[in-house]
A and B are shown apart, each in its own frame.
Chain A
Amino acid sequence: GAGVSQSPSNKVTEKGKDVELRCDPISGHTALYWYRQRLGQGLEFLIYFQGNSAPDKSGLPSDRFSAERTGESVSTLTIQRTQQEDSAVYLCASSSDRGLSPLHFGNGTRLTVT
């Protein structure tokens, strides 16, 4: 596909369960970001992957959150033992350059923790 693809588009889970969110970036994009967006709020940075460099994990809110990226392709964001405050839209974005190109966002995964 031409754009960033995220799956699932919606996820409802019970409190305490683990969830895995997937992001397929645009082919060839070296940079990949995960953001969290609560209803009506801004973009909360979670994690940033750039090529083979160590990821910037400074935005992960707790050790229940982790993310992986295989080379310059797919990334997964895992949330363990989900809590109700984890309910939000999780957005993935990719970029082709080292800071001088726009980010291309997916449409996000809407996570609801009941």
Chain B
Amino acid sequence: QQQVKQSPQSLIVQKGGISIINCAYENTAFDYFPWYQQFPGKGPALLIAIRPDVSEKKEGRFTISFNKSAKQFSLHIMDSQPGDSATYFCAASKPGGFKTIFGAGTRLFVKA
């Protein structure tokens, strides 16, 4: 019940295309869903996050779509650029001092 399942494991997209990464969770008590971006040699950094009271959040080329009934959320990267090539992690957390749960990660490569 504590798992967050992330897919695909890896993704290759042409420059200018749309990258889509999906995550699914089981525990309905989760109420904070961040996405992290990690470049080689660096720690993950927060990219964008959403709470379940909204179905979509957009920041520049990055959008989170959230489907509460299906217990799924996804990251869309519009107009993907080679500089977006990185590993992306979804995560979920809930109040009360419980630890954040991470998905397994998606390695994105954007071809120039």
A-side residues, CB < 8 A to B, are 4, 31, 33, 40-43, 45, 48, 50-51, 53, 56, 91, 93, 95, 98-108
Q: Are A100 and B104 in contact (CB under 8 A)?
A: no
Residues of A near B45 (CB, < 8 A) are 105
- How far is A103 from B45 in the complex, measured between Cα atoms in Å? 8
Residues of B in contact with A (beta carbons under 8 Å apart)? 31-32, 34, 36, 41-46, 49, 89, 91, 93-100, 102-105, 107
14 A-B residue pairs with Cβ-Cβ distance under 8 Å, sorted by A, are A33-B100, A43-B89, A43-B105, A48-B99, A99-B95, A100-B31, A100-B95, A101-B32, A102-B34, A102-B46, A103-B91, A105-B36, A105-B45, A108-B43
A53 to B99, CA, bound (A): 12
6 shortest interchain CB distances as A-B pairs: A105-B43, A102-B46, A99-B93, A42-B105, A48-B99, A42-B104
Determine the distance from Cα of A104 to Cα of B103 in the docked complex, in whole angstroms.
17
Question: Do A45 and B99 contact each other (CB < 8 Å), given the known contacts A93-B43, A103-B46, A105-B45?
Answer: yes
Residue of B nearest to A47 (CB): B99
> Which listed residue (A42, A106, A107) contacts B102, Cβ 8 A?
A42
Can you name the residue of chain A whose Cβ is closest to the Cβ of B95? A99
B64 to chain A, nearest CB (A): 13
14 more A-B residue pairs beyond the given contacts A93-B44, A99-B99, with a C-beta to C-beta distance below 8 A: A31-B97, A31-B99, A42-B89, A43-B102, A45-B99, A48-B99, A50-B97, A50-B99, A100-B31, A103-B46, A104-B46, A105-B43, A105-B45, A107-B43
Chain A: CB-nearest residue to B48? A102
Contact of B97 among A43, A99, A106, A107 (CB under 8 A): A99
Taking a contact as CB atoms closer than 8 A, the residue among B44, B89, B102 that contacts A45 in the complex is B102
B43 / chain A contacts, CB cutoff of 8 Å: 4, 91, 93, 105-108
Nearest-CB distance from A22 to chain B (Å)? 15
CA distance A87 to B86 in the complex (A): 22
Q: How far apart are A37's CB and chain B's nearest CB, in angstroms?
A: 9
Tell me, in angstroms, the Cα distance from A104 to B98 when the chains sit together: 16
Cβ of B31: which chain A residues have Cβ within 8 Å of it?
Answer: 100
